[in-house]
């Protein structure tokens, strides 16, 4: 007989991004009490602090196909006292599961700045994984592909199944045959997702400084400028964002980029300068009305979602503090 403890209060996270602490105590030969606590996944996905219930459950026998145990894997108990710092996304790693998840989901960010002797020292000294550390040190001497350094980590703790291991190897292989500019753009786009906007802008600039239109074409560099504008905008550098959008538009004459450019102008121009710029561009009134309509829709959705005007001072202070933290993180 099987019985399932439903963990309905768990936050919605990607696969393998949740660690649970299970406390099980037996109250009778055929009954036990199960208590589950959400630990998250370190700084990658912080714990929600949820105590997922403490209740009496019939003894959970090991099930067959489709059983509860097939959905989870046992984590190593040891966590590092001193974390391994990943500078590119400003994250500390404390466990081997956190490291595996990062390697699995961020192949495009992996390079010698992380896969190096320091990582080997951390695995050996903090997690007690001497065998893995020794193996990686040997691979560092003559590895021809990142896959030779990443896959052994997964194998050591049986983190991925065979199909997933193959997919990672294929992803690394496809990435390594791309041009340096394309790899930089992939890394920059991922840094934007992590809120590391300054680092992303730095990579976008490197691409634009070394542009080779014969290999990638104008469309690629227009996309770089457009994405760079997004990174600037999230740092509230609207003038720089507008400059990038205009350069992108001049390359490929994209209507979407043009609309974005017009929409960002009032965020940094005075009303007089804004009207003057519109006259220079000879923007039709219908297009301006459409942009204004879209802007009001966005504001309405944001107002409904946030309702900051109705929030208490304490909630507002927490919101501003979090935005301040994100801003400083993005400028590192």
For 12-66, the pLDDT digits (tens) are: 888 888 888 878 888 787 777 778 888 888 888 888 877 765 555 544 444 444 3
User: Taking the chain, what is the end-to-end CA distance rounded to the nearest angstrom?
Assistant: 55
Query: Nearest 5°: phi and psi at 238?
Result: -70, -35
| Residues 137-155 as b or e (16 or more Cβ within 10 Å = b) | eebbeeeeebbbbbbebbe
Mean of per-residue pLDDT scores for the chain = 83
| Strand-pair category, 91-93 with 84-86 | antiparallel
Domain 180-297 bears CATH identifier 3.40.50.620: no
Q: Please state the pTM of the whole predicted model.
A: 0.76
Given a cut of 70, whether residue 86 has pLDDT beyond it is yes
What is the C-alpha separation between 126 and 80, in angstroms, rounded?
5
pLDDT band at 326 (very low <50, low <70, confident <90, very high): low
How far, CA to CA in Å, does 175 sit from each of 107, 110, 161, 165? 9, 11, 21, 15
Q: Per-domain residue ranges for the chain?
A: 19-71, 84-176, 180-297
What is the C-alpha separation between 199 and 316, in angstroms, rounded?
29
What is the C-alpha separation between 31 and 34, in angstroms, rounded?
10
Listed residue (197, 195, 254) closest to 223, CA to CA: 254
For 287-315, the pLDDT digits (tens) are: 888 877 876 776 676 666 656 445 555 56
How far, rounded to the nearest angstrom, does the alpha carbon of residue 199 sit from its chain's CA centroid?
14
């Amino acid at each position: 007989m099987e019985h399932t403890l439903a963990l309905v209060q768990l936050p919605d996270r990607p696969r393998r991004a949740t660690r649970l602490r299970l406390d099980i105590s037996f109250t009778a030969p055929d009954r036990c009490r199960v208590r589950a606590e959400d630990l998250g996944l370190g700084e990658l996905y912080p714990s929600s602090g949820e105590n997922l219930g403490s209740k009496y459950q019939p003894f959970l026998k090991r099930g067959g196909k489709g059983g509860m145990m097939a959905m989870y894997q046992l984590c190593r108990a040891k966590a590092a006292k001193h974390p391994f710092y990943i500078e590119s996304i400003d994250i500390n790693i404390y466990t081997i599961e956190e490291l595996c998840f990062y390697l699995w989901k961020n192949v495009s960010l992996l390079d010698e700045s992380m896969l190096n002797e320091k990582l080997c020292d951390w695995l050996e000294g903090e997690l007690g994984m001497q065998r893995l550390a020794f193996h990686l040190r040997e691979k560092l001497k003559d590895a021809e592909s990142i896959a030779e350094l990443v896959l052994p980590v997964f194998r050591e703790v049986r983190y991925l199944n065979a199909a997933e291991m193959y997919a990672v190897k294929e992803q690394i292989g496809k990435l390594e045959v791309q041009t340096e500019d394309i790899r930089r753009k992939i890394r920059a786009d991922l840094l934007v997702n992590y809120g590391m906007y300054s680092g992303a802008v730095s990579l976008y600039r490197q691409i634009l400084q070394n542009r080779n239109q014969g290999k990638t074409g104008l469309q690629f560099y227009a996309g770089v400028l457009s994405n760079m504008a997004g990174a600037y905008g999230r740092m509230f550098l609207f003038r720089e964002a507008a400059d990038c959008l205009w350069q992108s538009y001049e390359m490929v004459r994209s209507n979407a980029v043009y609309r974005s450019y017009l929409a960002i102008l009032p965020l940094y121009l005075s009303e007089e300068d804004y009207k003057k710029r519109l006259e220079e561009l000879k923007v039709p009134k219908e297009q301006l009305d459409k942009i204004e309509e879209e802007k009001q829709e966005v504001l309405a959705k944001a107002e409904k979602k946030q309702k900051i005007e109705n929030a208490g001072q304490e909630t507002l202070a927490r919101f501003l503090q979090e935005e301040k933290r994100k801003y400083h993180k993005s400028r590192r």
